[in-house]
Amino acid sequence: SAVISQKPSRDICQRGTSLTIQCQVDSQVTMMFWYRQQPGQSLTLIATANQGSEATYESGFVIDKFPISRPNLTFSTLTVSNMSPEDSSIYLCSGGLQETQYFGPGTRLLVL
Amino acid sequence: GENVEQHPSTLSVQEGDSAVIKCTYSDSASNYFPWYKQELGKGPQLIIDIRSNVGEKKDQRIAVTLNKTAKHFSLHITETQPEDSAVYFCAASMVGGNQFYFGTGTSLTVIP
């Protein structure tokens, strides 16, 4: 299995600002992913973080709004840019090992 | 693409009773089906998974069954305990693939 940590665990931000979320995995996973989870809802994939190259974004998510980095096999960041109240959500990082995914504890973001 | 449906959305059981959550999928190419438990304020935790070459898998009080012909799989929890109260998500994917398709979640409450 893989143990995944995220920082920060929660934050309250002002609209128009940006927040960068960090994700650290304790082992070399093959894939890393970023999800968004609205309260009481399921998980929506934002993008696949690719090591050393641009992330692969899902429909409805763009690099300008959610820039992602993955400088090595165990670390990735997601930035939520120019935030609005609609960006208030839980952001989850996951690491893919063999056929499954292991999730971090999430970052709870509130935008005022 | 794949579509995963999950029922029921909420489930209440008395402590000691069994709980069953069902999911259906649409893409016959899917061959890996994990189940996640998400407690309040935490990230999803993998609790059990099954591959399409297996019809049933058990781990103590938890079991998962798969019917490939009907394209549905179910989570069975026996002798439920209050600590089983959480939101449960099913997912479908292809071994070696990136994308996990999640169900909409089931909020399970075990009444002491």
Q: How far, in Å, CA of B70 to CA of B91, rounded? A: 16
For range B68-82, the mean pLDDT: 96
Q: Is the CB of residue B99 less than 8 Å away from at least one CB of chain A?
A: yes
Q: Which of A45, A103, A108 sits opposite B44 (nearest CB)?
A: A103
In one-letter notation, the amino acid at residue B78 is T
| pLDDT score for A70 | 94
* Chain A residues inside the 8 Å CB shell of B103: 42
- Over 90: is that where the pLDDT of A101 sits? yes
* Chain B residues inside the 8 Å CB shell of A104: 43
For range A33-61, the mean pLDDT: 93
As given in the structure block, the two tokens for residue A16 are 């128009």
- Over 80: is that where the pLDDT of B96 sits? no
In one-letter notation, the amino acid at residue A80 is V
* Chain B residues inside the 8 Å CB shell of A105: 42-43
For range B16-43, the mean pLDDT: 96
pLDDT classification of A29: cutoffs 50, 70, 90: confident
